[in-house]
Structure 1
Amino acid sequence: MLYISHSHGKGRGVYTDSRIERETIIERTPILEIPQEEVEMLQLTILNNYYFAWGFDQQQAALALGLGSIYNHSYTPNAVYIPREAEQLIEFVAIRKILANEEITINYNGSPNDQTPLWGSDEIPWLK
């Protein structure tokens, strides 16, 4: 049902080959949890662009396996991600109907309605 394809201006993205109804779980991805003391080192690698803030105080990091770290950002997303810390996974859920061959996007800020600029700007730094 899910596949990776080119996303204009964003590199790779996650797409669906089938219609997905609202509130459908798209994917449940296991994570690799990175302790707080290793996050600074992670920020010096290519993985800096692919991890999620993690933990009660958001000071840890999580690298989503499966397709989890490939979903692109949108301020008008069609999905949301839900950290499931006790289960050591991230759940991606449709927040509206997603059509076949449509890219699945999430708001990196967490809330689908959060319009806060990413990383202190309105652009993703590696796309400048």
Structure 2
Amino acid sequence: MPLSTQLPFLYLSEDEIRGRGVFTSELISPESTIELCPVIILNEEDTKQIHQTHLHDYYFLWDIEKGTSAIALGYGSLYNHSDNNNAEFELDIEHNLIRFIAIKPITAGEEITVDYKGLKEEGNRLWFEPE
């Protein structure tokens, strides 16, 4: 049985502040799976080198103990950051997927954003200037 990987009404568009991002043309309800993104796993050596490339802004840390990272396929590496995010992502290491899930209603024409800082109590900082 084929895996349905994304909602059919997602599209890419330009945002004046954030640049290219993922938007929806229909309402997305909270707790809806927005997209299941297969990933390409990068080994520890490739993960160290990614910081010297343009891909640095598009990768996900994967298995901390192994030092691996991942590049999400589909729209997965194109969801922009917001402190007022309307979606979140979950790493499914067992199945090599990243799942993007709505955490509040996302209206038609709205950009889908995630918070890339992780747990707020950890005090994580971004590697770029937020909007």
Gapped runs of 5+ residues in structure 1? none
Large movers: runs of 4+ above 6 Å: 112-115
The aligned runs of 1:9-20 (5 Å cut-off) are 9-20=17-28
In structure 2, the partner of 1:44 is 52
Q: Could you tell me how far apart the structure 2 residues matched to 1:59 and 1:51 are?
A: 13
- 1:73-119: CA deviation from partner (whole Å, max 9, x where unpaired): 01110000000000000000000000001000000123488763313
What is the number of residues matched between the two proteins? 123
Q: Where does 1:109-120 land on structure 2 (aligned, <5 Å)?
A: 109-111=117-119, 116-119=124-127
TM-score (norm 1): 0.87
Alignment of structure 1 residues 9-88 onto 2, 5 Å: 9-57=17-65, 59-88=67-96
Distance apart, 1:59 and its partner CA: 2.5
- Unpaired runs of at least 5, structure 2: 1-8
TM-score when normalising by structure 2: 0.85
C-alpha contact (below 8 Å) 2:24/2:108 kept by paired residues = yes
In structure 2, the partner of 1:96 is 104
| Residue range with higher mean Cα deviation, 110-119 or 53-62 | 110-119
CA-atom RMSD in angstroms = 2.1
What CA distance in whole angstroms lies between the structure 1 residues aligned with 2:10 and 2:104?
A: 17
| Matching residue's letter, 2:34 | I
CA distance in 2, matches of 1:112, 1:3: 29
Percent identity of paired positions between Structure 1 and Structure 2: 39
